[in-house]
Amino acid sequence: MSQKKIYEKDRLTAEERLEAVIRLEQPDRVPLSMMIYNYSPFHAKVKASDYVHKPSVYLKAIRQVYEDIGPWDIYYNINPVSKLTYSFVMMMRLLYPGDDLPENVMTQIEEFEYMQPEDYDQILQMKSNLANNVFRARMLPRFCKETEGLGPIRLRSKLALGFLKQGLFWIRDQRWWREQGLVIQIGYQAEMPIDMFSMARTVIPFSMDLFQRPEKIREAAMKLSPSFADWSIRIARYTRIPRVQCYCHRTSNNFISPRQFEELAFPSMEEIVCRIIDAGITPILHCDGDWMKNLKVLRRLPAKKIILQLDGLTDIFRAKDEIGDHMCLFGDVPAEKLVMGSPQEVDEYCHRLITEVGRGGGFILAAGCEIPYNAKSENLRAMVQSVYKYGYY
């Protein structure tokens, strides 16, 4: 653990500050996390295609953002040098600038139906201790161009090399951020089972599944859960970062009803989250969409052990009252303010977040989901400076 302080006034290190807010304790000040992956190449004025393909360009660009706009507390490490590895954890086709897109646009995801109804039955026939990785490996050739034509043995070998490449780069990348005094946010990340089903089936077919085969959805997600959690724990321990980010992109109230969330999605979420916590690791629930009607159910999860990351569609001020005494809240400066607002507007909004959501601790200031690629640098500086201006308790 780095003992370097971010600001002279700080009494805690970034690691100590993060651990305090996870426990819902009041630290010396509010911590700040900045997800700058898509923003960095445009700020640094490098080609997006070079940024995603050349690790040296990535390192230079993302560090330049920190030096121009920083400092902050938490390095939000989205750095996919292995496209195959990120395809495996996100389970969607990634479109890279320079390969599938023009060379100066941000990375995108193409959604199309690659999972069929009979795949739920195949999951139910798998051995529980291998189900998550086996299912993902079977699906990869259906959407990931890097795996086309590979048999099972060659696919496993290529996946292993991809994870090794990604892991070695993470170690190289994180060393610099730790030297600056930052704590690393993510030890492993992956799409949660039901959210993966929704994106793999696409919205309309999965919506039909919710009514035609709800029990199969629930049972298949439960089948994947033990191995999902075990693999997450194993990778987090390998990276020595005791936090796992679980993506919940399709289980918000924008996609399924509160009853469907409670009956179909929550059982597998609870299994995964509790296993991760029992291993001494913090789950980060990356909850895109509107989660207000799901918050009462989320209170069944262990208290003071989880980070709840919101993306702007959930009212974080109401969430503070609903669940802020149970989970650490993460967010939630809206993308539109960072792109179209003024530094004064960003400053005022951050001040409100720090004062109201940060009341008593248990809060990490961040953007809603991520920093937009076209955010104004002066707005990001206002966001960064707000924790120094207003964040001390």
pLDDT at 161: 93
Q: Give the mean model confidence (pLDDT) for residues 219-232.
A: 97
- Given this structure, which CATH class describes domain 14-390? alpha beta
pTM as predicted: 0.96
CA distance 298 to 344: 35
Predicted pLDDT of residue 80: 85
pLDDT of residue 93: 94
Element (H, E) at 10: none
Given this model, what pLDDT does residue 91 score? 96
Q: What is the pLDDT of residues 235-265, one digit of tens each?
A: 999 999 999 999 999 999 999 999 999 999 9
pLDDT at 2 over 90: no
What is the b/e burial string over 218-231, where b = at least 16 CB atoms within 10 angstroms of the residue's CB?
bbbbbbbbbbbbbb
Q: Which tokens belong to 121?
A: 């039955």
Q: Lowest mean pLDDT of 80-89, 315-324, 342-351, name the range.
A: 80-89
* Percent helix, strand and coil across the chain, each to the nearest 5: 55, 10, 35
The CA distance from 319 to 325, in Å, is 10
Q: What is the pLDDT of residue 390?
A: 98
Q: What pLDDT is recorded for position 1?
A: 61
Per-residue model confidence (pLDDT) at position 149 = 85
Q: Does residue 277 register a pLDDT over 80?
A: yes
Residue whose C-alpha is closest to residue 383's, from 264, 372, 393, 8: 372
What pLDDT digit, counting tens, does each position of 128-183 carry?
889 999 999 999 999 999 898 888 889 999 999 999 999 899 889 999 999 999 99
CA-based nearest residue to 226, from 190, 276, 191, 266: 276
pLDDT given at position 150: 86
Contact 227, 133 (CB under 8 A): yes
Residue 240: which of 277, 172, 279, 186 has the closest Cα? 186
Distance of CA 164 to the CA centre of its chain: 21
Give residue 391's pLDDT band: very low, low, confident or very high (50, 70, 90): very high
What pLDDT shows up at residue 151? 87
